[in-house]
Structure 1
Amino acid sequence: MTGNQGRWPKIDQDGIEDVTLLILEWLGEQGVNAMIRVDAERVADNAPAWTFAASGGPLEHGMRAEGRTVQQCMSAALSRLREAGLSVPF
């Protein structure tokens, strides 16, 4: 086990980190395949390490969003999902 490398949980100001799993569950109920992942190599390189990807269901084309934090990633993902016509209720 490598420990937390000096990182402590951050308090999310707008709550998106708290509802990420609910968003994924809701997308699945709509027939959308979705996932969020973190890439350890990108964390080490200080690059945008979080990726959200979704396809299927009412999405005409697959989509993805990236961010340096889960908050940035999911904020971009929600924006793109809404642009694609999905009214995500979170």
Structure 2
Amino acid sequence: MRVMESLAEQGVTVLFKADAERMREGVRPWSFVASGSPFHEDLLVRTDAASVEACLEAGLPRLRAFGLVIPETSA
């Protein structure tokens, strides 16, 4: 995925997680976590949502606010 590659090139570690227990419960099973070391020590963005797309929709604007350059995603 181009967005994840771009973030990694800027020193950001990105993790997506699908939680089976939360999925069974119908409670925002996807998690997106982005942290930045060594270049962005204060960076930590976490979003829990119903889908990967919803995670990106919530998380990417926050990453842009940190000054990261992120390519547009296609819907």
TM bucket (normalised to shorter chain) is: 0.7 to 0.9
CA-atom RMSD in angstroms:
1.4
Task: Give the number of the structure whose alpha-carbon radius of gyration is greater.
Answer: 1
After superposition, where does 1:22-37 map in structure 2 within 5 Å? Answer: 22-37=2-17
Q: Secondary structure at the match of 1:60?
A: coil
**Greater fraction strand:** 2
Q: Any gaps of 5 or more consecutive residues in structure 2?
A: none
| Higher RCO, Cα 8 Å, sep 6+ | 2
Runs of 4+ residues deviating >6 angstroms = none
Q: How many residue pairs were aligned?
A: 70
Q: Any gaps of 5 or more consecutive residues in structure 1?
A: 1-20
Identity %: 37
| TM-score, reference length from structure 2 | 0.81
